[in-house]
Amino acid sequence: MNPEPSTAGRPDALVVGGGIGGLGAAFALARKGLRVRVLEQAGEFGEVGAGLQIAPNCTRILAEYGLLEEVEALGVLPENMVMRDALDSRELTRLDLRDLERRYGFPYMVVHRSDLHGVLLRACRRAGVDLRTGRRVADYENTGGGALVRLEDGGTQEAALVVAADGLHSAARRKLVGDAVVDSGHVAYRAAVPIELARGNGIAEKDVTLYVGPRCHFVQYALRGGEMFNQVAVFEAAGPENRGAPDELDAAFAGACDPVRKGIPLMWRDRRWRMLDREPVDTWVHGRIALLGDAAHPPLQYMAQGAVMAIEDGWVLAEHCARSAATAPAGARPDWDAALAAYQAVRTEHCRRVLTTARAWGELWHLDGERRLRRNAILRARDTYDYSFTDWVYGPTALAPDEEPPMFTPIPLSSAPAEDPGGGTP
């Protein structure tokens, strides 16, 4: 447990959880002049040592925070995102990430999670956020003028606003929504290794490469200025017993193309992640308690938008707090209820779209047989510079529902030929 910081007294906002979402929100609120305290259950702030893709809808916010250069110095700006078929390795479609940066005004970047987390942690310290570790929140309660949290050690803390950024298995979500996680049946293995170990495997060091295959997919990209190589292997786990164990990993990719098969021995085998999400919900605000990040909208990771959405949430919430304070008499605190209502009004629909699209993406990526061929034909017909599938997500983060861009129209598989003209057999 870290020593008690000097900023004693009641904060304006308590943020439960010091992950990327919690720290992002804490910094966003503190830079608007609010007194913020973060309560993290772990003994130290930290993140998993794997990679993270951050799209322009996140780098735009990091730029506004004055943090983009620091993140960029630690990360990599890939040149392309290339989708390939995992069986025959043929290219299906690509995003030219330099052109994408021109379109959206901000880069598509990949960064080590602990590097991004470290940047946010340092930013919170500079902004005077009161950061406390070893504080596990057991319960939440609304009070007359705000909300309080009960700590597992028996203490309580109170603030005008409580932000629950306590992740996928959020205690706040359990209490306020009471739903269960949804298991997609897929499992992810990760690895971030020195790039020398992956050279010779047919890797594209300057690209994000996504191989899509029957019931599985595989992602690769360089990290830390190109010194490290990140891989994510996702596959449909078999039975309930020891689900997704390492021998299943090997079996799932045994029939894949060379660059994928050669990457599998590099995966960390001592840890795996079940691919869980939740059904979208429309109510994230309960009195003065607001869900944020994975606690509000844990996605399947297939759109690489989970951490991005969490950072957007913090930015939107802080903007609405500042807007409501701007219309109040000098020195008054924000109109918390108005700010929370505005936050919920815009974020729930956006995140619902991401959650449902991520599920649909997963289904599309994992197709087999004739449907795989139809998918390949659709993807190969896409123009590299057609942004109709990304405008709704990579554009500026909406602050109000009427700023939310229209969704794309999906192309039905049935509209494509069951033969991929470029080759490939079921």
Ligand X SMILES: Cc1cc2nc3c(=O)[nH]c(=O)nc-3n(C[C@H](O)[C@H](O)[C@H](O)COP(=O)(O)OP(=O)(O)OC[C@H]3O[C@@H](n4cnc5c(N)ncnc54)[C@H](O)[C@@H]3O)c2cc1C
Q: Which H or E run includes 275? A: strand 273-277
Q: Among residues 16 and 377, whose Cβ is nearest to ligand X?
A: 16
d(CA 393, CA 324): 26
141: buried, middle or exposed (CB in 10 Å: 19+, 13-18, 0-12)? middle
| Residue showing tokens 């992640």 | 273
Smallest distance from ligand X to CB 54, Å: 6
Minimum distance from CB of 191 to ligand X (Å)?
Answer: 11
Q: Is 107 in the site for ligand X (CB under 6 A)?
A: no
| Token pair 């594209």 in the structure block, residue | 204
Task: Select from 22, 78, 118, 259 the one that contacts ligand X (CB under 6 A).
Answer: 22
Which is catalytic among the residues 221, 302, 343, 394? 221
Q: Which residue has the tokens 């607001």?
A: 290
With CB under 6 A as the rule, give the number of residues binding ligand X: 33
Alpha helices by DSSP H, listed for 9-140, are 20-30, 56-64, 68-74, 97-104, 113-126
Residue type (1 letter), 143: T
Considering only residues 193 through 212, tell me which ones interact with ligand X, judged by CB under 6 A. none
Candidates 11, 12, 19, 375: give the one binding ligand X (CB under 6 A): 19
- For ligand X, the closer of residues 146 and 167 by Cβ is 167
Which secondary-structure segment (H or E) carries 344?
Answer: helix 336-365
Nearest residue (CB) to ligand X, 19 versus 376 = 19
Out of 13, 14, 15, 20, point to the residue binding ligand X (CB under 6 A).
Answer: 20
Instruction: Compute the least distance from the CB of residue 241 to ligand X, in Å.
Output: 22
- The contact mask relative to ligand X for 247-286 (x = CB under 6 A, - = no) is --------------------------x-------------
Report the site for ligand X in 281-320 (rule: CB under 6 A). 293-294, 301, 304-308, 310
- DSSP-derived pairing of the beta strands 289-291 and 161-164: parallel
Q: Between vectors from CA 256 to CA 95 and to CA 380, what angle results, nearest 5°?
A: 30
What is the residue type of 426? P
* Interacting residues with ligand X between 29 and 58 (CB under 6 A): 39-42, 52-53
Q: How many Cβ atoms are within 10 Å of 10's Cβ, its own excluded?
A: 13
Q: In this chain, which of 18, 244, 259, 395 binds ligand X, going by CB under 6 A?
A: 18
Distance CA 323, CA 297 (A): 25
Count CB-CB contacts under 10 A for residue 254.
Answer: 9
Query: Known catalytic residue: 221?
Result: yes
Contacting residues toward ligand X, per CB under 6 A: 16-22, 39-42, 52-53, 136-137, 165-168, 171, 188, 190, 232, 273, 293-294, 301, 304-308, 310
Residues noted as catalytic: 221
